[in-house]
Copies of this chain bind each other. A is one copy, B any other.
Amino acid sequence: MSEPLDLDRLVSPSCPVPGDSECVTLAHGAGAGASARLFEERLWPHLANAALAPRHDGAVLELPGSRLAFTTDTFVVRPLEFPGGDIGSLAVHGTLNDLAMCGARPLALSCALVLEEGLALATLERVVRSLAAAARAAGVPIATGDTKVVERGKGDGVYVNTAGVGLVPEGRCLRPDRVAPGDAVLVSGALGAHGAAVLSTREGLAFESSIRSDSALLSGLVESMLEVAPDLHCLRDPTRGGLGAALHEIARGAGCAIELDEEAIPVEEPVRAVCELLGLDPLFLASEGRCVAFAPEPQADRLLHVMRRHPLGRGAARIGRVVSGRPRVVLRTSIGTRRLLLLPAGEPLPRIC
| Residue of A29, A149, A151 with highest tally of chain B CB at under 10 A | A149
Contact residues, A84-136 vs B (CB, 8 A): 107-108, 110-122, 124-125, 128-129, 131-132, 135
CA distance A144 to B110 in the complex (A): 14
CA distance A115 to B121 in the complex (A): 25
Q: Mark A32-62, 1 if CB is under 8 A from B, else 0.
A: 0001001100110011011110000011010
When the two chains form their complex, are residues A115 and B24 in contact, meaning their CB atoms are under 8 A apart? Answer: yes
When the two chains form their complex, are residues B65 and A26 in contact, meaning their CB atoms are under 8 A apart? Answer: no
Residues of B within 8 A of A120 (CB): 22-24
When the two chains form their complex, are residues B35 and A147 in contact, meaning their CB atoms are under 8 A apart? Answer: yes
When the two chains form their complex, are residues A144 and B58 in contact, meaning their CB atoms are under 8 A apart? Answer: yes
Residues of B within 8 A of A116 (CB): 24
Q: A47-B111, A143-B70 are in contact. Are A76 and B35 (CB under 8 A)?
A: no
CA distance A42 to B128 in the complex (A): 8
Q: A42-B128, A61-B108, A108-B51 are in contact. Are A117 and B147 (CB under 8 A)?
A: no
When the two chains form their complex, are residues A46 and B129 in contact, meaning their CB atoms are under 8 A apart? Answer: yes
Residues of B within 8 A of A72 (CB): 110-112, 144-146, 161, 163
Which of A152-160, A185-193, A305-313, A326-334 is near enough to bind chain B?
Answer: A152-160
Within the complex, the shortest CB–CB distance from A214 to chain B, in Å, comes to 20
Counting every copy of the chain, the complex holds 2
Residues of B within 8 A of A159 (CB): 114, 150, 159
Contact among B22, B51, B131, B135 with A121 in the assembled complex (CB-CB below 8 Å): B22
Q: Answer whether residue A168 sits at the interface, using C-beta atoms and an 8 A cutoff.
A: no
Query: Across the two chains, which residue of chain B brings its CB closest to A39?
Result: B147
Within the complex, the shortest CB–CB distance from A66 to chain B, in Å, comes to 6
When the two chains form their complex, are residues B128 and A46 in contact, meaning their CB atoms are under 8 A apart? Answer: yes
Residues of B within 8 A of A155 (CB): 154-156
Secondary structure at the A interface, as helix, strand, loop or mixed, is: mixed
When the two chains form their complex, are residues B61 and A107 in contact, meaning their CB atoms are under 8 A apart? Answer: yes
Number of interface residues of A (CB under 8 A): 79
Q: Mark A10-35, 1 if CB is under 8 A from B, else 0.
A: 00000000000111111011100001
When the two chains form their complex, are residues A23 and B74 in contact, meaning their CB atoms are under 8 A apart? Answer: no
Residues of B within 8 A of A66 (CB): 63-66
When the two chains form their complex, are residues A114 and B47 in contact, meaning their CB atoms are under 8 A apart? Answer: no
Q: Answer whether residue A351 sits at the interface, using C-beta atoms and an 8 A cutoff.
A: yes
Q: Answer whether residue A141 sits at the interface, using C-beta atoms and an 8 A cutoff.
A: yes
CA distance A141 to B122 in the complex (A): 39
Contact among B74, B107, B351 with A68 in the assembled complex (CB-CB below 8 Å): B107
Q: Answer whether residue A222 sits at the interface, using C-beta atoms and an 8 A cutoff.
A: no
Q: Answer whether residue A350 sits at the interface, using C-beta atoms and an 8 A cutoff.
A: yes
Q: Answer whether residue A9 sits at the interface, using C-beta atoms and an 8 A cutoff.
A: no
Within the complex, the shortest CB–CB distance from A271 to chain B, in Å, comes to 23
Residues of B within 8 A of A213 (CB): none
Besides the contacts A42-B124, A52-B145, A76-B114, what 9 more A-B pairs have beta carbons closer than 8 Å? A24-B115, A26-B149, A49-B143, A59-B108, A63-B63, A65-B65, A70-B110, A74-B112, A151-B351
